Each structure stands twice: as C-alpha cells, then as structure tokens.
Amino acid sequence: MGTSETSDGRAGTPDRTPERDERTGRAAAAQRIQRQHEWVDLQIKQAMERGDFDNLPGTGKPIKNLGTQHDPDWWVKQLIEREKITGLLPPALQLRKDDAELDAKLDRHTAESEVRRELEEFNARVMKARYTPVDGPPLVTMPRDIDDAVDAWRERRMARRREAAARKTTPRPAERAEQPKRRWFRRRAG
C-alpha cells in the first residue's frame, strides 16, 4: 500500500485499495482465503502420514452419547463428570446428599470431639439454609440431635470392634488343625 499524493505533491491519506495479484488481477487476500482449505487438507494429510492421529483415546470406539437428544449444557455435565466436581447442587439437594452420607463420614472419625464438631457444622448449614430464601427444591433436611447421633456413632464403632475381634479369634478349620506340620527339610540318619 502506498500513499496518495495531493495535486501539489504532498503526501495525503494512505492508499487503502487491496493489493492485486499481477497474474490474476484478484485481491491477494481473497486468493489466500480461497486456497486456505487446500492448506488445511495438506496439513491434515501430513499429520496422518507422520502418525500424529494414531493411538488417540477413543480410537475405534463409538462416539459417546451420539444420537441422544441435544442438551445445551452437555459440556458442563461432562466437565463435572470428568473432573468429579461436587458442591454444585442447590443447597436443599446438597444438604439431603450430605445428610445421607453423614453417618459414613462420622464413622471415619476416631474421637468423639471430632464427631460432635462435624455434627455442629452440619446443623449450622441446615439452619443457615432454613433462614435463606430457597432457590430450587424445598428444604426437607432436619438438623441432627447431636447426643443421639454420637450415641449411634458409638454403637456402630463398638459393633465394628466386636466384628474385628470375632474375626481374630475364629478357630481354624478342623482338617487343618489335625494335620501335623510337615517339615520341608529332613535329615537322614546315617
């Protein structure tokens, strides 16, 4: 691109006319765009020859969820599934889920103080949700009675200890106990 000159020979506004290909008379940019698909095809062909597309995950397998109804949020759902993201439920549903998993979570603790702290945190979240305007399904989760939950935790803990002790003291099967031990090395008298 050049600049145009005014009648008195001074430089004026820059020339904005597109560059022309001398052979065809067409704009060079238009010609590049028109031939871009050829360049892309060439790049793909060369990558295939190099083996860049060999052993990709999912090779030879059907495309997952192909043919199902279109879901505009498909990428979010796949991201949540792939990255195992939690905590995206509405508060009422998250509290229901946490309530269902609370006993298993409590059973992982070894001290009563930790169990009480976990229960207090759960009850605080339930009470906060009760006094917050509801977005989504209604809140049906109730706070837990801390003393009752601690008693149930103790019972489950004692039952696990009894089961572990019973496994340790189980007698051997009769046929094994009666057989004398064989030595792998015997000396010959001689």
Highest mean pLDDT among 12-26, 124-138, 149-163: 149-163
pLDDT for 97-150, tens place per residue?
A: 899 999 999 999 999 999 999 999 999 999 998 888 877 788 889 999 999 999
Reported as a pLDDT band with limits 50, 70 and 90, residue 1 is: very low
Q: Where are the beta strands (DSSP E) in the chain?
A: 3-5, 11-14
Rounded CA-CA distance 115/113 in Å is 5
- What DSSP character marks residue 14? E
pLDDT for 33-56, tens place per residue?
A: 888 889 999 999 999 999 998 888
Contact present, 28 and 20 (Cβ < 8 Å): yes
Task: Give 132's contacts (C-beta < 8 A, 6+ positions apart).
Answer: 91
The whole-number average pLDDT for the span 149-171 is 89
Q: Where are the domains of the chain?
A: 91-167
Confidence at residue 153, expressed as pLDDT on a 0 to 100 scale = 95
